[in-house]
A and B are shown apart, each in its own frame.
Chain A
């Protein structure tokens, strides 16, 4: 069917909750396209023959094809096309950085705004979740068993792709809930946990077993997985220990890593009233770092009742690595960006007259120094240089360090012959194969902190390689 394209230059805006309202609740910020808006946006797609958008997608979703289905009003058909390539469409439609992937390649973006591919993907996935009645069905078994370590985006993707081909897949998760960073890291207001749970349910319908509370490297080793009859293992164990700045005062009470702060709020649901797991609420908070995780932490602190939240970042807005959309949302909500600014010390309360004063050891502030940008460094970004004598203090009650993580050490320390690089990331070839036969890896465990979709891409590549190695195609 040929549609006359809608040549309007701008994409349909994503409806969002009012910033003044959403700053005080954990409901989703973006509320999603309606059917009418989705149809209108779909009509902006030119259905290009050479499909540049597809090459920009780490999992190569057939983008023009699913958008054509939207144009036809066949939303379920659109969903079926997406799920051929992606096991987590409702997640990707929300958290993928489309502006640097599919949408960056969109022809409509040359003159005007690209097609809102991510928003359409989300619409389709949400429509399916709201309307689809038929459950996914497990395909006929091909008799092969594969174990997946970690139920984050790379593991779930690898599991989904293999299950669809008839593999018996078991996913081992160290925590009590499946989802990895999708449940412990990304906050409810950006990715509702019910959506993650739904995607996990779909995988279970496909026959995937999920075993929580099993820490591979501790409860079971990779060698034991092979003894148990698994023919291949995919390691998607994710990011590990948080980095700190090694400045004075980081042990004061009220200094969190972003991982800890977000885990308390997201996984342990400390954001609910009367939580079982405590978290500091209210007061003034400084978040150190400029990535998406820093934005998540800052906006979570705000929603937990902080009266003031700072982002402290040592370079300028231009270098700030978080997605533009997240930065804009944070600014709208009133997060105070202190750019070109680097912490040198965290300050804490000490009552000199009373060592038993219960306030002793709690954070009272953060001392920072102003920076200016010098010559480009190895990353190509201009290196921030401290301006002598420019130190100043911010009065805060909590500091959240969001300056990256290093890969989890548990698997490498218990798996003989598994080679890692000097940062601790597992070394893999282009198929995701590690130095150990039959052991594949992907996601943050390999790359260090990166995006959900790149982890999914790695899970997908490994699934294909495992399938080829085990000959499950036949």
Chain B
């Protein structure tokens, strides 16, 4: 059992928790993820590590309430326990040789992008961050990004805060103005990452995308998290849990990943409704 040491709502649908998991806290690097189960009958879900405190032995996770499991997790309070918490899994984000980086985060993906930005900042790289949200109410982690970024651009789809438009807008402007980066790292909805790749393509700037496919064991056993890369015209199957979650954005078949991500869409929607209805009776 793993104790929830602190819990904080970042916005109405995004929650941050710090979990007592000393072994994971000691090891986790930016870009890696954990697998958790809320209770004994629960499903295993992957969540990217949003930060660690090795001295205290805690691991920070930030999650959006999108389905039954995240709904249940959000009903757990400080001092309560979750059943299982295993990690760190996946390969940490590569930082070697990158002196100038552009971090492009969208929505709750910014929670994953934040520790990556912090790590580059710590390593002395020049960090430009672009973070985008649907609207002002969904904005998270602005202060944290400001602290670790040399430049920060905040975007909202509806213009209710900062600049209106999506994250590719300032990216394209910078690239068109002749600016370049050693690497663009993008984390967020698949469709956003696909467009970030398309925006960067004419300028030949390398793009790393962090994938979050459906997973079960997360340890290289089930194969559910497979994604297709196109390398030299050949389609290659990779597993996000052990080969990723970061991949070369130019090689990812995003359309296929989007389709596969919706496999249990109906099931999950119904399961979430059911859990919400259960809590309605309790709250």
Contacts and interface: CB of A to CB of B under 8 A. Distances in A.
Nearest to A355: B255
Contacts of B222: 242, 257, 259-260, 263
Interface string A201-239: 000000000001111001110000000000000000011
A212 to B, nearest CB: 7
B232 to A, nearest CB: 15
A176 B220 contact: no
Dominant SS at the A interface?
Answer: loop
Interface residues of A, number: 40
Given A218-B89, A358-B265, A276 B43 contact: yes
Nearest to A219: B23
A56 B223 CA distance: 35
A112 interface: no
Interface string A128-149: 0000000000000000000000
Interface stretch (B79-87, B95-103, B177-185): B79-87
A192 to B, nearest CB: 18
Contacts, number: 114
A429 interface: no
B220 A409 contact: yes
A246 interface: yes
Dominant SS at the B interface?
Answer: mixed
Contacts of B219: 174-175, 215, 218, 408, 410
B109 to A, nearest CB: 23
Nearest to B90: A218
Contacts of A251: 226, 228, 253, 256, 259-260
Interface string A270-290: 000000111000000000000
B239 interface: yes
Interface string B252-265: 01001001101111
A213 B83 CA distance: 10
B274 to A, nearest CB: 9
B86 A360 contact: no
A405 to B, nearest CB: 8
B66 to A, nearest CB: 14
A408 to B, nearest CB: 5
B223 A241 contact: yes
25 contacts: A175-B219, A212-B86, A213-B84, A214-B23, A218-B88, A218-B89, A219-B86, A219-B87, A219-B88, A240-B220, A251-B228, A259-B222, A260-B216, A260-B223, A269-B41, A276-B41, A276-B68, A276-B271, A277-B43, A278-B264, A278-B268, A358-B265, A360-B259, A408-B221, A410-B220
Interface of A: 174-176, 184, 212-215, 218-220, 238-242, 244, 246, 250-251, 253-254, 256-257, 259-260, 263-264, 267-269, 276-278, 358, 360-361, 408-410
